Amino acid sequence: MSPPDLPTDGRPWVYLASQSPRRHELLRTWGVTPVPLLPDAHEDPEELEVPAPNEPPAAYVRRVTRAKLAAAVARLRRRSWPAGVVLSADTTVAVDGAILGKPTDAADAAVMLARLSGRAHEVLTAVAVAHGPRRWLRLSRSRVLFKWLTSAEIDAYVTSGEPMGKAGAYAIQGVAALWVRRIHGSHSGIVGLPAFETGELLARAGLTPLR
């Protein structure tokens, strides 16, 4: 695979091991150019996201994020691309200690949303950065309180397709924002990349966004 076109305007940039358009957008908002470092054809990133039996949500999201980072660093070396800072992240939703990952189909999405209806749940996002041999990881925890959802609201949202590919079967930056009564924590962390923690890690790696 040919090396990417790296920024030449002096602004900070990172290799981003994520296909999430939300993470790409957040980094750009913070003055950092994301350079995609996506899996090769033989890689199966979904394998990394399978929870171990009885694995606590915080341990799960940390493990998956470390695994994604390790895979991305190995990918960078395999491709012989220029050295650079590598960033990975993973988000999960937890309720009653159970992990709600990405729904497998529409029925699964509807079950997840019904489970979140009218109650608080936790959103955990881990972010990890590699710079040379050094590695750093931070975890963001947020609590989100949903209003009670009607069957019609759930059905319409599932039909829209927005729940698919989203941890907990919803995107807070989408229509589901209308259901949120209260947030305690990091809005950007719920979206998929916590601003404060990401900024700290980038600074440790020698990057200074917006300066």
Domain assignment present for 17: yes
Helix (H, G, I), strand (E, B) or coil at 108: helix
Rounded CA-CA distance 89/105 in Å is 23
pLDDT band at 211 (very low <50, low <70, confident <90, very high): low
Rounded CA-CA distance 52/192 in Å is 22
* Predicted local distance difference test score (pLDDT) of residue 46: 76
Domain assignment present for 6: no
pLDDT band at 67 (very low <50, low <70, confident <90, very high): very high
pLDDT tens digit string along 125-169?
Answer: 999 999 999 999 999 999 999 999 999 999 999 999 999 999 999
Domain assignment present for 8: no
Whether 88 shows a pLDDT value over 90: the answer reads yes
Indicate the pTM of the whole model.
0.93
Domain assignment present for 4: no
Domain assignment present for 210: no
**CATH number of the CATH domain containing 34:** 3.90.950.10
* Predicted local distance difference test score (pLDDT) of residue 9: 82
Domain assignment present for 151: yes
Residue ranges making up the domain that contains 126: 13-204
Rounded CA-CA distance 54/56 in Å is 6
Domain assignment present for 95: yes
pLDDT band at 210 (very low <50, low <70, confident <90, very high): low
Q: Work out how many domains the chain is built from and give that number.
A: 1
Write out the catalytic residue numbers. Answer: 90
